[in-house]
Amino acid sequence: MKKPKFQRPTGMHDILPEDQGYFQKIYNVCETVANFYGFKKIDTPILEDTALYEKGTGLATDIVQKQMFTLRTKGRNYLTLRPEFTPGIIRAYLEHGMQTLPQPIKLYSSGPAFRYEHPQAGRYRQFHQFNLEVIGDGNSVIDAQVIQIFYNILTEIKLKKLIVEINSIGDNQCRPYYKKLLLSYLKSRDLSLCVDCRRRLRENPLRVLDCKEEKCQRIVSQAPQMIDHLCQECHDHFKGVLEFLDEIELPYRLNPYLVRGLDYYTKTVFEIFEDTEEGRKMGSLSGGGRYDALVKLLGGEDTKAIGGAMGIERVIATIKSKKIKTQKPSNPPIFLAQLGIMAKRKSLKLLEDFRKVKIQVAESFGRDSLKAQLKIADRLGVKYTLLLGQKEVLEETIIIRDMKIGRQETVKLEKVVREMQKRLKK
């Protein structure tokens, strides 16, 4: 077969009809769970000012330095396709005066995000996320609840053997001292670090803890741990989070080197994995953390907040590997077969009559052969086929064929919708 002239860009993917069911199932579960916990939906633009991500996500992050899709408009402004949701949602929170409403504000969103990185299993340059934010509450119970919500979503999608990895990365009171300790440890081993991590040492040594290179991970495994150097407030907060997780019996594992790749995180950070060898290779299904300084950084008042996101493609890849089936849409119970131009005209109107009473009807208006149409009806497994030809149009009748027993009956065209309603109820 000849190669098409145009193909999708590297790292982008088409969501074909056979995969739409997976997306629909996951979004339905996400929205049902989010609504139960009192979250309201928000949609923000896919394009935002580039400076929003430079300031919010962090200049030292891989996202800002390497992965953003940025363009210059005709007005010479720089806009970026969103690489993540949180800065845009906080921008909307401030711009629309949500800080004057009763707090906390609980928001959820979903849709595409864009990062320029090496495409691999479950990772694309255009990907989809489901996102939660709780803005205006610093209680540790909120941290536990956000983790619980993502865990519940993944459980309802029928994923098993899930584990929460969790850590506290402190705040601006205790983190500077830890950074000095970490920098001192890493500097004595900088020649053994990858090129990126040597750069990270200068900009933000915490980023080294997030490196996936095996040689860097070996060095990190012996590094000082932030959890041993938390200030009293951060220590008490984290202790509270763990006690709440214990109370709801959520399986978790302390990971003292978990930092996540965004500069705005404070205190609690978490990721949820499938706790299997295959699951570890796939990577985290969901993750997030507290960001108590971000609202102020973007021009608001001092406001505590926490959020998280779930990668839809990665969840779908996991579902497929487990052969978890999604519910296929049911085939229509009726097929409308027509023969001749007059029958086509009547069929268009009749199809609309069925739509108004919410009865799904299949058809193949482009085909003239009755044999070909009946073959399609057989393949769909419909209960009834309606037959409309020239003779029936002139007599204002239509034939109802019971596909199971092969019996046919002629009824008045004006009564066929009501008649089919009765038959389908039986």
Residues contacting residue 306 through CB under 8 Å, at least 6 positions apart = 133, 134, 137, 142, 143, 146, 268, 288, 289, 290, 291
Around Cβ 51, how many Cβ atoms within 10 Å?
Answer: 12
CATH class held by domain 334-419: alpha beta
**Rounded CA gap, 400 and 416, in Å?**
8
State yes or no: cis peptide before 112, omega within 30 of 0.
no
pLDDT at res. 280:
81
Beta bridge partners, 334, equal 361, 384
| CATH architecture of the domain with range 17-174+230-321 | 2-Layer Sandwich (3.30)
User: Is 257 strand, coil or helix?
Assistant: coil
Nearest residue to 374 (alpha-carbon basis) of 329, 408, 350: 408
pLDDT at res. 122:
62
State the average pLDDT over residues 228-238: 96
Nearest residue to 206 (alpha-carbon basis) of 251, 254, 161, 168: 168
Q: pLDDT tens digit string along 256-305?
A: 999 887 889 999 999 999 988 888 888 899 999 999 999 999 999 999 99
Return the structure tokens found at 120.
């691999």
What is the side-by-side order of every strand in the sheet holding 361-363?
A: 361-363, 334-338, 384-388, 397-402, 408-412
Q: Whole-number mean pLDDT of the chain?
A: 93
Q: What angle do CA 14, 19, 25 make, to 5 degrees?
A: 130
Buried b (16+ CB within 10 A) or exposed e, 342-379: ebbebbeebeeebeeeeeebbbbeeeeeeeebbebbee
pLDDT at res. 322:
84
**Rounded CA gap, 95 and 71, in Å?**
23
Q: pLDDT tens digit string along 199-220?
A: 888 888 888 888 888 899 899 8
Question: How far, CA to CA in Å, does 105 sit from each of 41, 98, 305?
Answer: 11, 8, 9
pLDDT at res. 211:
86
pLDDT at res. 121:
65
pLDDT at res. 260:
87
Q: Is the confidence at residue 84, as pLDDT, over 90? A: yes
Q: Is the confidence at residue 2, as pLDDT, over 80? A: no
**How buried is 18 (Cβ within 10 angstroms: 0-12 exposed, 13-18 middle, 19+ buried)?**
exposed
**Rounded CA gap, 63 and 90, in Å?**
18
Q: pLDDT tens digit string along 140-168?
A: 999 999 999 999 999 999 999 999 999 99
Q: Is the confidence at residue 196, as pLDDT, over 90? A: no
Domain extents for the chain? 17-174+230-321, 334-419
